[in-house]
């Protein structure tokens, strides 16, 4: 993989492939560039894709203390490598990081593709606990990686306890454990947007054309979140992917890629 040095000295690893306008893929919680590898491949005939490991993950390094602004600086560094401008694709909490980056980087972000930002803005699902990030940090500091992932799955994803046992039996659980120290990062990115309250009206200033995507079979909270967000962005549209759910980046990369390629606003 290639590397670029972010503003604070963190080394960000990325894979560059394809031809066309630059597109940076921003991964979700407990995911690295490998999770978006098939999506990247599907996009290469239309974009020069920069599929990177977020700080603290995969081949990228990390620098304390963490802040959301440092993650935006990582994206800014990739944008410079790409020639000064790029589009961003983000999924789940990665979509919120991409949104944050578009707000802070201005015209360096040319288009924005957001798949199911996990805002909780009403009573469609239990809000994330107020001390969610603190609890994750405590579990991480105690070396309880599996417990941290379980806490994330229960409180952030809303997965019932009886299903978490089945998740632990899947090999993907080990990978999530390896990345569990970054779960608090995504909690900080989400901020208060999973509290059951309306989205803040002054947090993001984004003028780039934006496509907000949801899966037809996804929970109501994702559709409610998309409807709320589209009202805050001046150049945004919503598209629903037939038959898909929150896992579409992995299970239906060809569907997502076609939607991205076809987007015009």
Do 244 and 218 reside in the same domain of the chain?
yes
Do 117 and 138 reside in the same domain of the chain?
no
At residue 265, does pLDDT exceed 80?
A: no
Looking at residue 198, its pLDDT comes to 97
Of 140, 173, 190, the last residue of a domain is 190
Query: Which residues are 4's β-sheet partners?
Result: 12
Do 115 and 47 reside in the same domain of the chain?
yes
Number of structural domains the chain divides into: 2
Do 86 and 114 reside in the same domain of the chain?
yes
Looking at residue 91, its pLDDT comes to 98
Do 49 and 112 reside in the same domain of the chain?
yes
As a whole number, mean pLDDT of residues 20-37 equals 97
At residue 216, does pLDDT exceed 90?
A: yes
pLDDT digits (tens, 9 = 90+) for 196-215: 999 999 999 999 999 999 99
As a whole number, mean pLDDT of residues 9-20 equals 98
* CATH number of the domain where residue 12 is located: 3.40.50.1820
pLDDT digits (tens, 9 = 90+) for 69-84: 999 999 999 999 999 9
| DSSP per residue, 120-138 | --STTSPPPPTTHHHHHHH
As a whole number, mean pLDDT of residues 137-148 equals 97
Mean confidence (pLDDT) of the chain: 97
At residue 57, does pLDDT exceed 90?
A: yes
Which residues span the domain enclosing 59? 2-123+198-262
As a whole number, mean pLDDT of residues 225-246 equals 98
Percent of the chain topping pLDDT 70: 100
Looking at residue 264, its pLDDT comes to 81
As a whole number, mean pLDDT of residues 17-43 equals 97
Place of tokens 């803040």: 200
Do 113 and 13 reside in the same domain of the chain?
yes
As a whole number, mean pLDDT of residues 139-153 equals 97
Do 11 and 118 reside in the same domain of the chain?
yes
Do 98 and 25 reside in the same domain of the chain?
yes
Of 172, 190, 208, the last residue of a domain is 190
Of 190, 212, 236, the last residue of a domain is 190
Do 210 and 88 reside in the same domain of the chain?
yes
Do 25 and 143 reside in the same domain of the chain?
no
Looking at residue 253, its pLDDT comes to 98
Do 49 and 106 reside in the same domain of the chain?
yes
Buried b (16+ CB within 10 A) or exposed e, 38-76: bbbbbbeebbbbbbbbbbbbbbbbeeeebebebbbbbbb
pLDDT digits (tens, 9 = 90+) for 62-120: 999 999 999 999 999 999 999 999 999 999 999 999 999 999 999 999 999 999 999 99
pLDDT digits (tens, 9 = 90+) for 175-200: 999 999 999 999 999 999 999 999 99
Distance CA 182, CA 258 (A): 30
Looking at residue 168, its pLDDT comes to 93
Do 66 and 12 reside in the same domain of the chain?
yes
User: Could you tell me the pTM of the whole model?
Assistant: 0.97
């Amino acid at each position: 993989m290639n590397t670029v040095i972010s503003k604070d000295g963190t080394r960000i690893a990325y894979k560059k492939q394809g031809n066309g306008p630059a597109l940076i893929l921003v991964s979700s919680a407990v995911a690295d560039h490998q999770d978006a590898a098939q999506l990247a491949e599907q996009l290469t005939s239309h974009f020069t894709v920069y599929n990177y490991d977020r700080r603290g993950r995969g081949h990228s390094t990390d620098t304390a203390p963490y802040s959301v602004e440092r993650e935006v600086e990582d994206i800014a560094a990739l944008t410079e490598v790409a020639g000064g401008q790029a589009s961003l694709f983000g999924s789940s909490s990665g979509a919120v990081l991409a949104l944050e980056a578009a707000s802070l980087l201005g015209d360096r972000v040319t288009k924005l593709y957001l798949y199911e930002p996990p805002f909780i803005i009403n009573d469609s699902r239990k809000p994330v606990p107020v001390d969610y990030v603190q609890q994750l940090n405590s579990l991480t500091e105690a070396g309880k990686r599996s417990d941290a992932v379980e806490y994330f799955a229960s409180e952030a994803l809303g997965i019932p306890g009886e299903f978490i046992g089945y998740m632990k039996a899947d090999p993907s659980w080990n990978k999530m454990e390896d990345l569990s120290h970054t779960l608090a990062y995504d909690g900080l990115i989400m901020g208060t947007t999973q509290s059951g309250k309306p989205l803040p009206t002054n947090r993001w200033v984004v003028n780039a054309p934006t496509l907000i995507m949801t899966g037809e079979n996804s929970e109501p909270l994702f559709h409610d979140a998309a409807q709320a967000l589209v009202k805050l962005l001046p150049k945004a549209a919503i598209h629903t992917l037939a038959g898909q759910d929150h896992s579409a980046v992995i299970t239906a990369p060809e569907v997502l890629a076609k939607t991205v390629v076809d987007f015009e606003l």
